Structure 1
Amino acid sequence: MIKVIKAEDRYTAHHEWLTARFSFSFAEYYDPSNLNFGVHRVLNDDIIAPGTGFGMHPHRDMEIVTYVIEGALEHKDSMGNVGVVRAGEIQTMTAGTGVYHSEYNHSQDEEVHSLQLWFLPDQKGLTPGYAQKQFSKGDQRNALLKVVAPDGADGALPIHSDVTIYFSDLDAGQGVTHRQAAGRKMHLFMIAGELTLNGEQQMKTGDAARITDVEEISVRALESGAEFMLIDLV
């Protein structure tokens, strides 16, 4: 089964400093029928105004992945990590027994556009952890590049959840396929551009597909710069 959620059907929260589009029930948006997709609990598509952001706040027993699409996100946390996640970089954080962190737009002039994903961990009470990496755009071109995986397999960033995240950037007419074990799920999110999924579903920027009971998918770009994230999960 392939269920496509159109970009415009997501809940949108408008604040003076933030525009946030929620794929799952979050904050003031509560929908008991849309709490998660397998172990995937949060997918927030955030645009943060210059010089603003999320002040220091706590997390616990959650695996958090952040990807910066445009701009730069300034990060600080109670583990002592201080830095900037720039466009194209990915950050993972294990909240475990508890961690505080803040996220601010590093620029005083330009917006930052980022995705933040939360996943339920394999076990509670893990030691908090942090990692950050820039992946080559060239390695994503017309291919599926593994960027997050359990225990950091194959050079990916680590995550303590049965989740593997791939990124891809396709030229017009190019495609990729992904096959997974029976009983698993796939979640595909369009970062930019347009493509077709299994030759039937047409998807554009901000659209997502929740895929169950389908062991193989085929994705083909309708235009150059079709960028998407594919999550293989339980």
Structure 2
Amino acid sequence: MSAINMDIHRAEDRYTADHGWLRSNFSFSFADYADADNWHFSSLRVLNDDYISPGTGFDLHPHHNMEIVTIVLEGQLEHQDSSGNKEFILPGQVQRMSAGTGIYHSEHNASEEKKLHLLQLWFFPELKDAVPSYETFTYGLDHLRGQLLPVVSNKSGELNTAHIHQDMTLYLSKPGAGQTICFRQQAARSTYIFVIEGHLKLHDGTLLYSRDDARIINTNEIRITANEDSHFMLIDLP
């Protein structure tokens, strides 16, 4: 097993934007946060950790040539777009939207009482100016127990996931305390790990806590052990 070549980014070092109705933590440069050394990792351009107050949200706004993935962690997201889609997304579901030649959408907290917590990721597309498309994929939180479950991939037919126009696969996992998850990184690939909740240890002894991330290149097998019940995301990238 080779040593891990990686950068660690701690939760407390993320940029935080607080707009009152919205509190967002940026893992990469976004909006008012500009850092030339933290612009993207492989094709992953944005990871925002958003808390949206009851009865509020983002009004209709445009996107162009970006693959957008939204994972609801708590609450209920109301989505509407210029292609006529209107849906409510819950924990245990993932939303994928390919902006392509251009699309408008709105995102609101569907509740007037409860907060909405979500992760939103943007990926550079493999193919520009595609026809805009949208889907919601239900994976079920129970299916994350003790395994890496693919939920978004360009190999959607093979893996039964939401489809994305980029050579990547996004996995979610909820290992119990003491469980070890193994992932084999293929040659010339990159791996991004984001701890949603819990406490993880990598096989080289590196400790990752809630909202920390690891950006890994040039290794082979990655062993991830949960020091407590945990929830994390792993993305296989070009």
TM-score (normalised: structure 2): 0.96
Q: Is the 8 A contact 1:64 1:118 kept in 2?
A: yes
Q: Does 1:169 align with 2:174?
A: yes
Per-residue CA shift, 1:104-125, capped at 9, x if unaligned? Answer: 0011011100000000001111
Three-state SS of the structure 2 residue aligned to 1:139 is helix
Partners of 1:19 and 1:136 in 2: CA distance: 27
| 1:80-91 equivalences in 2 (<5 Å) | 80-91=84-95
Q: Which is worse superposed, 212-221 or 39-48?
A: 212-221
Equivalent residue number for residue 135 of structure 2 = 131
Give the deviation of 1:136 after TM superposition: 2.3
Aligned length: 233
Between 1:130-139 and 1:89-98, the stretch displaced more is 130-139
- Unaligned 5+ runs, structure 1: none
Q: Report the AA paired with residue 192 of structure 1.
A: E
Pairing 1:202–2:214 present:
no
The offset of 1:180, in angstroms, is 2.1
Q: Say whether the 8 Å CA contact 2:82–2:104 is kept in structure 1.
A: yes
CA distance in 1, matches of 2:219, 2:69: 25
Match of 2:165 in 1: 160
Instruction: Indicate the SS of the match to 2:211.
Output: coil
Equivalent residue for 2:191? 186
Task: String of CA shifts for 1:65-124, please: whole Å, max 9, x gaps.
Answer: 000000011000001000111122100000000000000001101110000000000111
Measured in 2, the distance between the counterparts of 1:169 and 1:159 equals: 23
1:181 and 1:7 map into 2 onto residues whose CA distance is 27
RMSD: 0.9
Unmatched segments (≥5 aa) in structure 2? none
User: Partners in 1 of 2:69 and 2:185 — Cα distance?
Assistant: 22
Matched, 1:116 2:120: yes
Q: What is the DSSP-based 3-state SS (H/G/I as helix, E as strand, rest coil) of the residue aligned with 1:170?
A: coil
For 1:160 and 1:113, the matched residues in 2 are separated by: 26
Inter-partner Cα distance in structure 2 for 1:227 and 1:40: 20
Q: Structure 2: which amino acid aligns with 1:196?
A: K
Inter-partner Cα distance in structure 1 for 2:56 and 2:191: 34
Is the aligned partner of 1:105 residue 2:109? Answer: yes
Q: Which residue of 2 aligns with 1:14?
A: 18
Q: Which residue of 2 aligns with 1:28?
A: 32
* Contact 2:79-2:87 within 8 A present in 1 as well: yes
Distance across 2 between alignment mates of 1:58 and 1:49: 22
- Distance in 2, Cα, partners of 1:198 & 1:88: 29
Give the residue type in structure 1 aligned to 2:184.
R
Percent pairwise identity: 47
Return the structure number with greater strand share: 1
